[in-house]
Amino acid sequence: MPHHSRLSAAVLTATVVLSSLLAGCGDDAGDEDLTRQRLDWKDCPSPSQEQGGGGSPSPLPDGDAWQCATMKTPLDWDRPDGETIDLALIRARASGPDSARIGSLVFNFGGPGGSGVTTLPAFGQDYARLRTRYDLVSFDPRGVGRSAPVRCLSDRRLDAYFQQDATPDDGAERAELLENTREFNAACEQNSGKILPHVRTTDAARDMDLMRQVLGDGRLHYFGISYGTELGAVYAHLFPKNVGRAVFDAVVDPTQTSEQGSLGQAEGFQRALDNYAEDCTSKAEDCPVGDTPQDVKDRIARLLKDLDSRPIPGIFPRDLTQTAATSGIAQSLYSKDFWEYLTEGLEGAYDGDGRVLMVLSDSLNGRGENGEYSNLTAANTAINCADDKPRYDTAYVQGRLPEFRRASALFGDFLAWGMLGCTDWPVAGAADHPDVRAPGAPPILVIGTTGDPATPYEGARRMADALGEGVGVELTYEGEGHGAYTGESPCVREAVDRYLLDGTVPAGGTVCS
């Protein structure tokens, strides 16, 4: 977990890294009407380093190719006729007959900081039914991937940054953590000062409305996951009459400050760890990492305490530190599919082998096997710090530690100290929390998962309420993981498909298990 104001909620993006183990500023729009630009769709290039690297997306199951394009958008939405930046887009054309096509369905997979251009093809098969009536479209939001990417530290310095002690025990360690945070933030300003004031969620929402027009759609049909739910809700607030059919999955709580969000994540990750420990020890065969749920958690706590002073070999030449191990454990809790890797990683670590936990940690932080990082952490920090008004100092965090530790013995310190992420950030934060009131918008389907660690379940109800009466329609999935649609519930999938394909809104309060 990098030191941002919150843990990145970009599991889908991280999964792409795990499973595979430039645009600049400068054009002047002048008098050009950006809504009339034509997109030049072509075969997709290989992803850039900022997007996470790797090869071009494989063709779709029916043999169709993914297509990529760039869209010009104003650098500064307060000066729409001024300088422009390029946003990277990707699409798969609808597979059904033209007569059945509804329009484009735009995806944002969260983070903030995740590349939609690399994530959508990795999960394209999961959305095959939706593709029968929509072009599937995603994009790298401004500051991300190929869209005027925020750049901060070099790869070598990022390796050291993610190894540092993120849970300081004394004055010297606290001073070092603060100094490292300031160094990271100063590097962002030095390398990307021009884009930093313009990466707020409100800017990205305005980009999406331009995208809607350029794609030729009267309304924006939208599928937002994790932070993508916040982006979608801000869009609905700004453009309620332009909202089409919209689904929010793994919902960010829009009523919380960054501190409350971090505290909620401490509770959420602890709940997911409790569920993992319960699951492992309830099986017929022995759980290799503990005899009882409490034993599992006690042994993990001892491991992390030992790693604080004595790291073990990770992936040469890096050691598995306490920070890297905590990040790896957190990454494995985003999805029940990763629990087996957590068991394997813990078994290895107890025997002095930190490789599996290190792979999980790298996945969370956007590090490829070649040692190159995507710009996930840089963009995540820049967007969170541009959005979130509060700035916290070491004395404030120290005072909050008891409450964070009550929320989670394992993740409390980690997420509390992460609140320093925006200290001395060069751009002021916009607000305490986003405004998502959307009177006049059509129904928006809001899905909360009871075992979600990164966007705890309670946030879905608050989002539905905040959107307003007749707008937010809540659906509950009683299950594990961050994001329900691509999970194990046919009930969730059918409810979403019926809404997006046929316009049938499920009854508010529907529960799927």
User: What is the full DSSP assignment across 90-124?
Assistant: EEE--SS-GGG--EEEEEE--TTT--HHHHHHHTG
482: annotated active-site residue? yes
What is the SS3 assignment for 358? helix
Residue 302, CA atoms < 13 Å, CB-side half-sphere = 11
* Contact between residue 61 and residue 125 where contact means Cβ atoms under 8 Å apart: yes
Among the options 198, 221, 433, 482, which is catalytic?
482
How far is 5 from 261, CA to CA, in rounded Å?
9
Strand bridging mode 134-139 / 220-225: unpaired
How many degrees, rounded to 5, is the angle at CA 508 between CA 337 and CA 11? 25
Sign of the dihedral defined by the CA atoms of residues 166, 383, 13, 183, in that order: negative
| Rg (the chain; Cα; Å) | 22
How distant is the alpha carbon of residue 374 from its chain centre?
Answer: 13
User: What is the full DSSP assignment across 216-257?
Assistant: T-SSEEEEEETHHHHHHHHHHHH-GGGEEEEEEES---TT--
Spell 447-485 as b/e; 16+ CB within 10 A means b: bbbbbbbbbbbbbbbbbbebbbeebbbbbbbebbbbbbb
The 3-state secondary structure of 12-30 reads HHHHHHHHCCCCCCCEECC
* Contact between residue 225 and residue 109 where contact means Cβ atoms under 8 Å apart: yes
How far is 458 from 455, CA to CA, in rounded Å?
8
The amino acid sitting at 247 is V
In degrees to the nearest 10, what's the CA dihedral of 189, 192, 193, 197?
-110
452: annotated active-site residue? yes
How far is 293 from 298, CA to CA, in rounded Å?
9
Sign of the dihedral defined by the CA atoms of residues 409, 402, 310, 394, in that order: positive
Looking at the DSSP bridge assignments, the partners of residue 422 are none
Among the options 86, 135, 203, 452, which is catalytic?
452
How far is 448 from 456, CA to CA, in rounded Å?
8
Element (H, E) at 412: helix 412-417
Sign of the dihedral defined by the CA atoms of residues 189, 192, 198, 200, in that order: negative
Among the options 95, 138, 192, 226, which is catalytic?
226
The amino acid sitting at 54 is G
How distant is the alpha carbon of residue 246 from its chain centre?
Answer: 18
User: Is 108 exposed, middle or buried, given 0-12, 13-18 or 19+ CB atoms closer than 10 A?
Assistant: buried
Q: Which residues are catalytic?
A: 226, 452, 482
